[in-house]
Structures are given as C-alpha cells and as structure tokens.
Amino acid sequence: MTDLKQQLTTYHVWDKSVRVFHWINVLCVLALIAVGTAILNAKGLGVSTDGKILLKSVHVYIGYVFSLNLAWRLIWGFIGNRYARWSAIIPFNTQHRAQISAMMIGAKAGTPIGFLGHNPIGRMMVALLFLLLSVQAITGLVLAGTDVYMPPFGNTIKEWVAVDSSTVESIKPYSKEGVDAEAYKEMRDFRKPIVTTHYYVFFVLLAAIFLHLLAVIITEIKEKNGIVSAMFTGKKVFANKPFDSGL
C-alpha cells in the first residue's frame, strides 16, 4: 500500500471558479427540481392561486441565481485554465478524436488511459448538460415574464397584453384586470412552444443528470483517481501520466 501511494502523482485540474460554479449549480438545480415539481403538481397538492404564484416566484428567484452562475461558467470557458475551457469540453474536435483513439487503443491493450479533464465520453455528457442547462435558463427567463411578469421580460409582456399604457402597472399575475383579452391570447400562443420546451427538457435533463452521476460513480470505483473529491479540492491523482497532462 505504501509503494502504491508513492507511485501516485497529484495534479491540479479544476480551478476554484469551476468548483464554486459546480456546487452552486448543484444546489440551484436541486431546488429548481423541487419547486418545479411542486408547481407541476400544484392542483393535486391543493395549492391555492396565491400559493402557485408564490411557488413560481420562488422558482424564478432561484432561476436568477442559476442563470447568473451558468452565465459566468460560460464566460469562464474562454478564460479559465485549460481544463475549464471549451476547447477541452466541446466534443468532436481534433483533440476529442485523439482522446477517443487513445482510449480505444488503451482498452484493446488492457492498459486504460487516464484523463485529467473530462474523458471523451464525459466531454459529450458535459457538453449535453451545458446545452440543456442553457435551454432551461433561456426558456425559464422568458416564462418568468409571460407567467408572473417578472424580469427581464415581465414589463415588456405587461405592455404587450395591457389594454393601454395606463393599465400596465395594474396588471398582476393570474388577474385579468387591465388585460386585453386578444393580446393576452396572442401572448399565451407565443408562450406555448416555450413552456413545452421547458417542460420536456426538464425530463431530458433529469435523465442526463442521472447518467452523469452513474458515470461518475462507475469511474470513481474503476479508476480511483479522485474524480469526486476533485470537485472539492481541484486535484486528481494518477499512477501513470494522464493522456491530457501535456496539452
């Protein structure tokens, strides 16, 4: 056991910004799932109209934190360390193809190849997760305006559905006061494909998160490189030099 420990080399992989983003994102997604599930089942739970407005408002406030955190991570993909950058995440580029080739050669030879950043399969999953999270953030911000008239589009939606400019400020969620019926119908027709997208991507995201967690657990058990602890410490350990350590 002592000899094995002496052979291990520690590498710093995930910078602080990536780690902070990850855990804020985890908390926000869990909270959004919980509140979103309550909203979807509001009728069965006996939630009143005021209660539903409160749930949706809380959902939006959490969504603001989620969206700002995600936006920062998207920016960090251009300025972070080499493992945080999009060039190390987005699949199907030259680097990704080289990683797939190395992984397959290693598998055939019985000598698994280690990766400091995401392995080739992990890159595809992480890219998918970022896509799904971004879709949820964008559609969620639009729905915040069409449903409970909250920023960033809430006032614009109010102006759209108002009888005239004098009634804009009087418009409240789930109230028809000051609302032009025809304009409101147009707004709801505009909203329909957005809410449908938000709804179905929610379930796709749940499935992707499950697969992501399963893959992390399997990788941790098989490779024992500290893939889980690295999101706390930023560091992974390897007995052999990882494929992407020299990139």
Which among 149, 213, 224, 220 is positioned nearest to 179, based on CA atoms? Answer: 149
H/E element, 12? strand 9-12
Using 50, 70 and 90 to split pLDDT, how confident is the model at 2? very low
The pLDDT of residue 1 is 40
The answer to pTM > 0.85 is yes
- What does the mean pLDDT of the chain come to? 93
Contact call for residues 67 and 140 (beta carbons, < 8 A)? yes
Q: What is the pLDDT of residue 7?
A: 78
pLDDT at 241: 87
Cα separation of 222 and 216, whole Å?
10
Distance CA 53, CA 37 (A): 14
103 is written with which tokens? 């992984």
Written as six digits, the tokens of 227 are 């893939």
- 16-30, 48-62, 109-123, 182-196: segment of lowest average pLDDT: 109-123
Q: Kindly state which CATH superfamily the domain 10-108+115-238 is placed in.
A: Transmembrane di-heme cytochromes, Chain C (1.20.950.20)
Q: For 185-238, what is each residue's pLDDT tens digit?
A: 999 999 999 999 999 999 999 999 999 999 999 989 988 899 999 999 999 999
Per-residue pLDDT reduced to its tens digit, 27-58: 999 999 999 999 999 999 999 999 999 999 99
DSSP 8-class letter at 163: S
Q: What is the pLDDT of residue 224?
A: 87
Amino acid (one-letter) located at 22: H
Residue 173 has pLDDT above 70, yes or no: yes
Give φ, ψ of 53 to 5 degrees. Answer: -60, -40
- Give pLDDT, residue 230: 95
What are the boundaries of each domain within the chain? 10-108+115-238
The single-letter code of the amino acid at 143 is L
199, amino acid identity = Y
Is there a contact between 42 and 52 (Cβ–Cβ < 8 Å)? yes
Return the bridge partners of 162, or none: 179
